[in-house]
Amino acid sequence: MADYTLSYSNNAQGWPSFYSFEPDYMRGMNSFFYTWKDGDMYRHNTNATRNEYYGDQYPSTIQSVINDSPQNIKLFKTMSLEGDRAWECTSLSTNLSVGSMLETYFEEKEGEWFTFIRSNIGTKDFKLRSTNGIGLCTATLGSGATLQVFFTVPLGDILSVGDYIYSTAIDGSGVATGTSVYVGQAVAVDKVSGFVQADSTITEPSDNLPGPVGTTPSVGDFIFFYKNTVSESHGARGFYLSFTLKNEDTGPMELFAVGADVMQSYP
């Protein structure tokens, strides 16, 4: 864990903030705050550059939690920032999911900054609505970037180019007998001929890149697909929403409140 300086407020009767600077000694005198580092004395809050200490620049970060109706499972759909600029949400988590949003995801509307909550790339939970089944693999043709997986059932309208294809072995009663295996990313869907072309050279999305390459499924495997977790996010589901905001601006900024569009989750 990184070192930091912790401040105490007599008015709040608590510890309201952490600071990145690590002084050897500190002192308040004549309405100014002074610190000493490596034998040099510094007076704080006297220049226009925010968060620069002893020649090093640091970001501003805020950690908090949204937890109305703590006994109910909720669906957190959006996040809103009431302030003069957007922040990056470097992490958000519930007891069921994780995600993050870049600063560029936020759009200004009527003086507030809004974004819908996105899951992290590489997030994979086959119990979510982003997962949909196709059917049993009846044949395969080709390999690598031109792997074709054939079906005798209609492919439907939900499957689309860009989805990630997976397979799992099943027994005679349709129960999975093994783990799910990544096949590749769909690059073509032919509803007339009844096949999906998957590029198995495209690695599986993962937090630890590069992810694994695809594997050709066996005839009789059950094939399903998973939507892009960033663009197809349905929000974050859970009892609470914990988040971390970061801003690397060096000028003054204001952030008054953080909110979320929350609804009751009905499984």
Q: Residue 42 has what pLDDT?
A: 93
Each of the 267 residues of the chain gets a pLDDT tens digit; together they read: 467 888 888 888 888 888 888 999 999 898 899 999 999 999 998 888 889 999 899 999 999 999 988 888 888 888 999 998 899 999 888 887 777 888 888 999 888 999 888 776 666 777 777 788 999 999 999 999 999 999 999 998 889 999 999 999 998 888 888 889 999 999 999 999 999 999 999 998 876 667 789 999 999 999 999 887 766 667 788 899 999 999 999 988 889 999 998 888 876
Do 193 and 187 touch, CB atoms closer than 8 A?
no
pTM of the model: 0.68
Distance of alpha carbon 20 from alpha carbon 6, whole angstroms = 9
Residue closest to 224 by CA, chosen among 164, 171, 175:
164
Q: Residue 101 has what pLDDT?
A: 83
* Integer CA distances (angstroms), 36 to 25, 48, 49, 56, 263, in order: 5, 20, 19, 15, 50
Do 197 and 187 touch, CB atoms closer than 8 A?
yes
Q: Residue 121 has what pLDDT?
A: 63
Quick one: tokens of 263? 């609804």
Q: Residue 172 has what pLDDT?
A: 83
Q: Residue 242 has what pLDDT?
A: 94
Q: Residue 120 has what pLDDT?
A: 66
